[in-house]
Chain A
């Protein structure tokens, strides 16, 4: 099986806990989607409920710049 490309990888901070499930977040496979484009990424996720955490630096940095590029496509 082909190894799927990951565009971005972020280690889960050991202090992050899923408020609902009470378990620590782990690095998990997630996908960003926008305007019919998908980007596989690795983000902190809750292993129980699947909550994906997008930190502020990521949202206002990389995510925002990719959004802007796609918006002009």
Chain B
């Protein structure tokens, strides 16, 4: 058998690809977080509308202006003449009315100053460019290319700059003045008063490397993408999709790309950026957005009006997974990027695995798959990544060892498998689950008594762990060993139907056994007579193990109603439920995230009692400070332990086993006695709990000390400190000794070994 608890070496050079490139892409593309908002997707110039409106809403008009300057040399012309396809796609249309994006653009241009300076130093290009004809397309293109430092000559029939602008577009005087200043500042040669006919065009074009011209000189169809004709001269597009102004700007943008490619002696089709409007698959949940009427634009918006109108932008983004999942929020990464980082993490052969903590902090509860409009399965990715790291011996044993040992404790010292007395074969076997055994042993005891009394055909008992812990830890081999062990035990019972007490056990065990939920059986045979009538409004906290299991969710609600509860549903009821933080072993690996998860479960309502049907949920929600109760506690009027320590959970499992053996099977079990007594203050116990040091570790260390007397005596405070290595951990206990009694002062541990050299 493999030694699952042998520490690995950091000097292993194994690597195994987590996903093929195709599978990675397939998984990643489900996450649409990075898809552009609908307004930007509709804009052929790719204006970053969302950022622009955000800046305006915060009063940063200069920063908002830079978004406009970024897409064009003449943003003001655009703000007056654009037919704004963005407004047609604005999601606010479905609520009230679109955000007035062009109105805000006009206000931005009105209230902000043109940027000073010339930006980055650009090297002057060599290829000479000739631009022929007067229209908005040629003017905008000339400005684009002049800004890219091409030696440029612009031939126009106009008499001067003012005339040039007027021939291109009619603007109000003040705006026109500002545009004239821009044209004058451009680094290009303008040849005014040219009579440009075909002959002139044919003659003059010879002296230029690249030629761009107005519509009138076009003699043949141009390429719809590059806008080039057969002689690689660049013209406005044949097909007009937008209004005159926007079309001219869009054509100029595409023409400039073609000129750049031609200047590099490349095919103009070569590596072009995405052009024109695109389709966005972003999901914007409008359920959370209040209605807000549009601010009418009379003339130019006042600054205040403009800020108010820009604040109406809902800042489209898909955060459905973030809303429910504290883990994603804690790591501040949306699933696609998290997947990529985890994927890269598994590929690291040497060096720091920065995302180990991230992959081990997912509770694997599957909530994201339900909340994501595309069903992104982050849990599966994290689980596979853990398996991958275990396979390549890159997964630290330290992160999951405690939980794995706890599982083995449940399936060894705490394990019990017996047929119901008086039955050769049993129809059922009750499997309460390790958490119920550890947290509510007496409730489990009473439940089993009831099942034995009332279920026909005999009910055997299996106290143990369903082994999902090994699966969560990514330890496939160990999981399979444990399942094989459970199969053996089930065979010895004649393979009865399992009655799972826990929804997670049920889901996990179903892969190998026939399983029913305890709740189903109790509904079939009727509730026990002694149940506690509750006349109270409660919230059913659904277990993540029962996600996509509406029958279980309904059975529990029916039981709750039968015992008198009135049910209050929350936003996170049923399939949308979040994990309490126990799942995926997160409470062992990342306590902060586990606590955030538990807090998320109760944040909506801290007054009502939470009725749970998973004992781990009951325990974790109770620790979070709300009234939490497992339905079996009510049915059998037998309380679970409130906040049992890790040691207490183990003691409870042993106590339950011994009590059952003694009272049901009349077998006396050997109780281990320790030859000394000890006491720990509350503070020491808390420290031990936090450091995951069990009382059994403490006892072992003291037993070892009593045998070999190895310890350090501190004369200053009259204390002894003894050490003992158990498995991969060295435990240190500081104490005072008085005959056979020990007062424990502190306990600590480390995984490193230490020796003299």
Residues in chain A within 8 A of chain B (CB atoms): 13, 15-20, 25, 28-37, 40, 43-45, 49-54, 56, 59-60, 63-64, 66-67, 69-73
In the complex, A15 Cα to B749 Cα: how many Å? 22
- Chain A nearest CB from B516 CB (Å) reads 41
Partner of A50 from the list B746, B753, B756 (CB cut-off 8 Å) is: B756
Beta-carbon contact of A35 and B754 below 8 Å: no
In the complex, A67 Cα to B398 Cα: how many Å? 9
Beta-carbon contact of A35 and B756 below 8 Å: no
In the complex, A34 Cα to B751 Cα: how many Å? 7
In the complex, A34 Cα to B11 Cα: how many Å? 11
- Chain B nearest CB from A7 CB (Å) reads 12
Beta-carbon contact of A32 and B753 below 8 Å: yes
Residues of B within 8 A of A30 (CB): 754-757
Q: Which 4 A-B pairs have the closest CB atoms?
A: A71-B396, A36-B9, A15-B716, A19-B711
Beta-carbon contact of A52 and B756 below 8 Å: yes
Partner of A67 from the list B9, B720, B752 (CB cut-off 8 Å) is: B752
Decide if B715 is an interface residue (CB 8 Å cutoff).
yes
Residues of B within 8 A of A25 (CB): 712
Beta-carbon contact of B711 and A73 below 8 Å: no
Residues in chain B within 8 A of chain A (CB atoms): 7-11, 350-354, 356-357, 396, 398-399, 691, 708-716, 720-721, 723, 730, 732, 734, 746, 748-757
Beta-carbon contact of B754 and A52 below 8 Å: yes
In the complex where A67-B398, A72-B353 touch, is A31 in contact with B757 (Cβ < 8 A)? yes
Beta-carbon contact of A67 and B750 below 8 Å: yes
Residues of B within 8 A of A33 (CB): 752-755
In the complex, A28 Cα to B354 Cα: how many Å? 35
- Apart from A16-B715, A19-B709, A69-B352, 15 more pairs, CB < 8 Å: A15-B716, A20-B710, A25-B712, A29-B756, A30-B755, A32-B754, A35-B10, A51-B710, A54-B730, A54-B754, A56-B732, A56-B746, A63-B752, A64-B750, A67-B750
Residues of B within 8 A of A32 (CB): 752-754
Between A33, A35, A52, A69, the greatest number of chain B beta carbons within 10 A of the residue's beta carbon is seen for A35
In the complex, A66 Cα to B356 Cα: how many Å? 16
In the complex, A71 Cα to B9 Cα: how many Å? 10
Beta-carbon contact of B354 and A56 below 8 Å: no
Residues of B within 8 A of A16 (CB): 712-715
In the complex, A34 Cα to B728 Cα: how many Å? 10
Residues of B within 8 A of A69 (CB): 352
In the complex where A36-B9, A40-B757, A45-B756 touch, is A53 in contact with B712 (Cβ < 8 A)? yes
In the complex, A33 Cα to B398 Cα: how many Å? 15
Secondary structure at chain A's binding surface: helix, strand, loop or mixed? mixed
Residue of B nearest to A50 (CB): B756
Between B10, B710, B754, the greatest number of chain A beta carbons within 10 A of the residue's beta carbon is seen for B754
- Chain B nearest CB from A59 CB (Å) reads 5
- Chain A nearest CB from B135 CB (Å) reads 62
Residue of B nearest to A31 (CB): B757
Beta-carbon contact of B732 and A43 below 8 Å: no
Between B712, B721, B723, the greatest number of chain A beta carbons within 10 A of the residue's beta carbon is seen for B712
Partner of A73 from the list B352, B357, B715, B757 (CB cut-off 8 Å) is: B352
Residue of B nearest to A56 (CB): B748
Residue of A nearest to B734 (CB): A56
Instruction: Write 13 A-B pairs (CB below 8 A) sorted by A numbering.
Output: A13-B714, A13-B716, A19-B710, A19-B713, A19-B720, A25-B712, A30-B756, A30-B757, A35-B9, A52-B755, A67-B750, A67-B752, A71-B356
Residue of A nearest to B705 (CB): A19
In the complex, A35 Cα to B10 Cα: how many Å? 6
Partner of B752 from the list A17, A19, A34, A53 (CB cut-off 8 Å) is: A34
Residues of B within 8 A of A15 (CB): 714-716
In the complex, A17 Cα to B356 Cα: how many Å? 42
In the complex where A36-B10, A56-B732, A71-B399 touch, is A51 in contact with B712 (Cβ < 8 A)? yes
In the complex where A34-B751, A56-B746, A72-B354 touch, is A18 in contact with B712 (Cβ < 8 A)? yes
- Chain A nearest CB from B391 CB (Å) reads 17
Beta-carbon contact of A59 and B353 below 8 Å: no
In the complex, A13 Cα to B715 Cα: how many Å? 10
Beta-carbon contact of A37 and B10 below 8 Å: yes
Residues of A within 8 A of B357 (CB): 72
Partner of A59 from the list B352, B709, B732, B756 (CB cut-off 8 Å) is: B732
Residues of A within 8 A of B711 (CB): 19-20
Residues of B within 8 A of A73 (CB): 10, 350-353
Residues of B within 8 A of A72 (CB): 352-354, 356-357, 396
In the complex, A43 Cα to B753 Cα: how many Å? 13
- Chain A nearest CB from B411 CB (Å) reads 26
Residues of A within 8 A of B753 (CB): 32-34
In the complex, A53 Cα to B722 Cα: how many Å? 9
- Chain B nearest CB from A25 CB (Å) reads 7
In the complex, A2 Cα to B357 Cα: how many Å? 39
Residues of B within 8 A of A20 (CB): 708-711
- Chain A nearest CB from B17 CB (Å) reads 20
- Chain B nearest CB from A52 CB (Å) reads 5
Residue of A nearest to B718 (CB): A15
- Chain B nearest CB from A31 CB (Å) reads 5
In the complex, A54 Cα to B723 Cα: how many Å? 9
- Chain B nearest CB from A28 CB (Å) reads 6
In the complex, A15 Cα to B712 Cα: how many Å? 10
Residues of B within 8 A of A54 (CB): 723, 730, 732, 750, 754
Residues of A within 8 A of B751 (CB): 34, 67
In the complex, A53 Cα to B734 Cα: how many Å? 12
Residue of B nearest to A24 (CB): B715
